[in-house]
Amino acid sequence: MASSGIGGANGHVVLESPPSKDHNHPSIGPDSPVLFIVGGLSPRAAQEISASLIDTLSKDSSPHALSQAVKHARRARQMLWRSHFLFTPGSAELPANPEPVLAPKDSTPVVFVFTGQGPQHMRMGKALFSTYPAFKESILELDAIYEHVTGLSLIRTTGLFSETDTPPPPSPWPVDITLPAMAMFQIAMVDLLATIGIRPTAAVGHSAGETSMLYAAGAGPKEMALKVAIARAKAMKTTEALGGGMAALGCDEATALEFINHVLKDAHEGVLEVGCHNSPEAVVITGSTALVDELLSLASCANVFARRVQTLNPSHSSMTEMCQEEYLGGVRDAFEEFPGSHTPIIPCYSTVAGHGKHVKEFTVDYIWENYRRPVHFHQAISSILEDHPNATFIEISPHPALSSYISATGIESGAVVCLSRRLARAPNITQMELKTFLSSIGALSTRGVNSIDLTPLYGCASRDPVYDVPYPFTKGHFPMRVDGPRVTEPTHGGLTSLILQMNAKSFPDLAEHVINGEPIVPAAAFIDMVRIIPQTFWPVVQLFTPN
């Protein structure tokens, strides 16, 4: 609501319902780190607020004190200078006071990046599953769909996400586990981010990642996305018997083709092709296992980075054509359950077509091309940066797999975050996954993402004033009368009267509002002068009296 009067006074009032009295804190456990996002109008103010918060938390780590994370995160959305830190209740180690960062003034586009096969691992999502209801509910809903389609629970048969004591799948995982598991993780992460106010401006998917992108882009429900992943995996399973695989190379396409031609020169049979264009200096080759192994050895001898991708499937190669009929049939069945147009409601940059083209509609044929044709990831990222130069990328993955490729485009530091990470050697893997997730959310705030709301994580903020941290305003003395050159020479009295002594030093803005030798100010200024300087009462009255 806004009010403007003829006197020039402006006022703005924000109406909001009072905070709930329900101070439930379902997610704050004794070992769960809590994210604090702090903002100020200056770096000094932001640091002082952080210092006061850390001091308060060192003395009281009750849920009421921790709930201040919600209040400060909301305030920070209006501040230019921001910082964030994590506080773990019961920990003897207090967080350091972080250095504030100047957040961008313009709205920051958020791009969701969905990875394909490779970064999956047994511990992915376990801490999120046990801590955040939104993630857990989404995983359980998806597992029920998986069980309805396959007759088995992915959670109970593999031990994924929960603490079930189940032998892990063989390594590398078979594709009929990898694809559904990755889709479940990514879809649940999208749901979790949505609850705290983070939604994508645009999206891009690498290989099988486009299946989860279908859901995130609003082109279909999560049930459809998972069923597409299951159908895709079932068909791809048949190609694993062919003896195929993939490997990542740290070189350009021309060098990779030289390696391929050298290997194929002496090969009597088999397939070896470039399957993914991840960056100008990173490609993925795909094909027959024996030829992939030979190329890995050749690249290693040439001091070129080479690493096998954790998959048994020769995706994005001509070997996939043997399962085309089964693939199309299974995906078509999934699409027929959800009739209608599957058009994204946000821009989806295609890694199938590349060169800036968007996915106009998800179709059965497009899903097949996504598996058969090479991945043009680098071209898609370049197109995104042309349209959104200040974009922030969020890699939706259990471990960074594409972040380095995005950073290779030359974007500024901190523009890419990954919400999870494989930390097998960490002393407390559960806590480290939460810290990685929360630190990423804090980094998004400093990048200018202004929609973050921590209420779903920590409940409503306490209204107890004992936990309020006052804003550290800078105090100063401003005299009402300053000797200096007058704005105008006395003419008709009033503001230009010698009694008022108004000049450019005491009222610098007044010097910019002079018409025909008379200063123009709001009526509110006259009223203020009556209150502050009684002897000016008569000149003010003269303004409203004919000469």
Task: Kindly list the catalytic residues.
Answer: 207, 316
Q: CA-CA distance, 196 to 30, in Å (whole number)?
A: 22
Strand, helix or coil for residue 11: strand
Place of tokens 């049939």: 329
- Counting runs of H as helices and runs of E as strands, what totals does the chain give? 19, 16
Dihedral of the CA atoms 318, 324, 328, 331 (nearest 10)? -70
Q: Which residues pair with 475 in a beta bridge?
A: none
Closest C-alpha to 458, from 162, 31, 64, 37: 64
What 153-162 contacts at long range (C-beta under 8 Å, 24+ apart), as own/partner pairs, is 154/180, 154/181, 154/184, 159/122, 160/122, 160/124, 160/125, 161/124, 161/125, 161/126, 161/129, 162/126, 162/129, 162/130
- For 165, counting Cβ atoms within 10 Å of its Cβ (0-12 exposed, 13-18 middle, 19+ buried), the class is exposed
Residues 6+ apart with CB under 8 A from 90: 30, 31, 61
Residue 142 to residue 130: CA distance in whole angstroms: 16
Count of CA atoms in the C-beta half-sphere (13 A) of 503: 12
The dihedral built from the CA positions of residue 455, 460, 466 and 469, taken in this order, carries a sign that is positive
- DSSP one-letter code for 503: B
Question: What are 76's two structure tokens?
Answer: 């920070």
E-state strands within 304-382: 306-308, 348-349
Strand partners, 118: none
Q: Residue 333 and residue 463: Cα distance in Å, rounded?
A: 53
Distance CA 232, CA 375 (A): 17
What residue ranges in 303-381 does DSSP mark as E strands?
Answer: 306-308, 348-349
User: Do 150 and 227 meet the contact criterion of CB atoms below 8 Å apart?
Assistant: no
Q: Which amino acid is at 77?
A: R
Distance of CA 18 to the CA centre of its chain: 29
